Structure 1
Amino acid sequence: MRVFVTGATGFIGSRIVPELIGAGYQVLGLARSDAGARSLAAAGADVHRGDLEDLESVRSGAAASDAVLHVAFRHDWTKFAESCELDKRVIEATGAVLQGSSRPFIVSSGVGVAQGRAATEDDPPLSSPSFPRVSEATAITLWERGVHASVMRLPQVHDTEKQGLITPLISIARAKGVSAYIGDGHNRWPAAHVTDVARLYRLALDKFTAGARYHAVAEEGVPLKDIATVIGRGLNVPVVSIAPEQAQEHFGFLGFFAGRDAHISSAQTRAKLGWKPTGPDLLTDLGNMRYTQV
């Protein structure tokens, strides 16, 4: 099976590519630069030159493949709404190519689905004017048109170099001179090591089920106070609590996320796909970072 992977040279995608190749899949990776093309070729993948903004390159990559993993997302937080709109267009363009076939299409999204309890794969996606990402909602419209799509909901995916939203949280702590959390800091963010997430994408493709939602969650929720404490130790700055009404001013774009309690279960995903995360936990990776290089 030939699999077209968007974001193939990115943080998660670059781990998915060798995972798929090692399992016997042929990979066609989207690359927008010469360096990206070289890294894909070195990994044993076929190179498809293009860019998310070039929808024709996305469509031709999907047309040339037996399955598509959409992993790419432009993480420009200063233009988040524009990035979300681009993501929607890419998903729609890919779905138009795959419609009328049984070719698998795995769409990446986030785990912002509930607060205050362990959200499951059955919970609907987060809907909020403050959070314009509609990856999953767009995938749902494709299901309704007969596209064989499923959704991979991602938490804070980490190693010792990147940690999802925690990476900009570290930058804010460095700039502000304090590592902050909101209130008592008991609200939680789910997490998973990047190698475990890459393996889950492969398992979801191995056992593909159209209409499925999967939670790539190894840790159901790590308290923000614990995260802030490890960051403070790494940067050698004070760890402080701030009031909820100060969140937007202190955290900027992260203010929407910083106080959310995202307790996420992956029990269904583990049972259906036989996924058993084995990578280091989030606080271990944060503790082993080289903070002078972040």
Structure 2
Amino acid sequence: MKVFLTGATGYIGSAVADTLQTAGHTVIGLVRSQDGVRRLKDRGIDAHIGDLKSAESLIEAARQADGVIHTASTNNFDAPEADITALEAILTALEGTGKPLIYTSGTWVMGNTGENIANEESRIDPTPLVAWRPAVEQQVLQAAERGVRTVVIRPALVYGRGGGVLANIVHSARENGIVRFIGTGANYWTLVHVEDLAKLYVQALEKAPAKTLWIAASGSPVQVSEIAQAVSEAVGISGQTQAWPLEQARQLMGPFADALVLDQKISGTKATQLLDWKPQSPSVLNELKHGSYVNVAQATA
């Protein structure tokens, strides 16, 4: 397929682009500048210059593609109107074609999941940072009635390739000599390696039926205090961890703090069973202790 990929130079999008190419697909990546064009060209990827804030710039590329994978976001969580308008432009471009559109949401829309392992059928209780996303998920899924093969993927907390939230924690630990975690550290995070996540996007592109929702989560949930300990070892300050009261974290981080303190135990079994998704990457603890985050820690030393 010829796939129009938004966010092609981003953390998730870069991994998706690589995996699409490995699977034999052609990628046209959305970029905002000539610098982005050069970055994609160096990786053998065609570029389309546009912006989520300019819906018209998305329509032509979406129409000319055989499918769209939407990983980009303005990250303006207080005012998501541009994200919503961009998505509607893509849906309009694909209307009546039967072509696939894969939309990226996230498991933070599920809120605290409690002791039971949550899945696609579980209730949602979005943390304030992403309170707008459930309505957008439904907008995407309902667009199947407009002749688009719409799919929603909810990634768990993404790690790997030395990036994501964990990279920020590693950098902070190196700079401050201590690993801070919000709350007591007794909460659990469910995670997914970015390269495994990218494989799920390709599986969904090729196989997922219209109007379907998939959770991208692999391995067992990991307690945040255990992740903090692994980070401390990666940066050479073993055991130097510190609880950070939520109210204090909110003063600096706003609603992002509430997202990081969520207690989430979530399963990606549906995708492994029905899409033949096979996560194979190292666990988050192995990645922290022996993988890409060791390099990040050394680079910031």
How does 1:1-294 map onto structure 2 within 5 Å? 1-75=1-75, 79-82=76-79, 84-112=80-108, 113-114=110-111, 115-116=113-114, 117-128=116-127, 130-132=128-130, 134-145=132-143, 146=145, 147-162=148-163, 164-173=164-173, 177-182=177-182, 184-235=184-235, 236=237, 238-249=240-251, 252-287=254-289, 288=291, 289=293, 290-293=296-299
What amino acid is aligned across from residue 32 of structure 2 in structure 1? R
What amino acid is aligned across from residue 49 of structure 1 in structure 2? I
**Partners of 1:81 and 1:132 within 8 A in 2:** no
**Partners of 2:129 and 2:259 within 8 A in 1:** no
Deviations 1:8-28 (A, max 9, x none): 111121121232122222221
SS in 1 for 2:11: coil
**C-alpha distance 291-100 of structure 1, shift in aligned 2 (>3 A):** same
The alpha-carbon deviation at position 133 of structure 1 amounts to 5.0
The alpha-carbon deviation at position 278 of structure 1 amounts to 0.9
**Partners of 2:182 and 2:257 within 8 A in 1:** no
- In 2, the alpha carbon distance for the partners of 1:208 and 1:188 equals 29
TM-score by length of 2: 0.85
**C-alpha distance 43-171 of structure 1, shift in aligned 2 (>3 A):** closer
SS in 2 for 1:214: strand
**Range 194-203 or range 280-289, more displaced:** 280-289
**Range 11-20 or range 139-148, more displaced:** 139-148
- In 2, the alpha carbon distance for the partners of 1:139 and 1:14 equals 23
**C-alpha distance 286-58 of structure 1, shift in aligned 2 (>3 A):** same
What amino acid is aligned across from residue 268 of structure 1 in structure 2? K
**Partners of 1:139 and 1:151 within 8 A in 2:** yes
- In 2, the alpha carbon distance for the partners of 1:283 and 1:219 equals 11
**Range 91-100 or range 137-146, more displaced:** 137-146
**Range 203-212 or range 241-250, more displaced:** 241-250
- State, as a whole percentage, how many aligned pairs show the same letter: 32
**Partners of 1:106 and 1:150 within 8 A in 2:** yes
The alpha-carbon deviation at position 95 of structure 1 amounts to 1.2
SS in 1 for 2:42: helix
- In 1, the alpha carbon distance for the partners of 2:156 and 2:6 equals 19
**C-alpha distance 205-124 of structure 1, shift in aligned 2 (>3 A):** farther
- In 2, the alpha carbon distance for the partners of 1:172 and 1:161 equals 14
**C-alpha distance 139-148 of structure 1, shift in aligned 2 (>3 A):** farther
State the aligned residue count: 288
**C-alpha distance 184-139 of structure 1, shift in aligned 2 (>3 A):** closer
Structure 2: gaps spanning 5 or more residues: none
- In 1, the alpha carbon distance for the partners of 2:176 and 2:33 equals 34
Over the aligned positions, Cα root-mean-square deviation in angstroms equals 2.4
- In 2, the alpha carbon distance for the partners of 1:242 and 1:157 equals 22
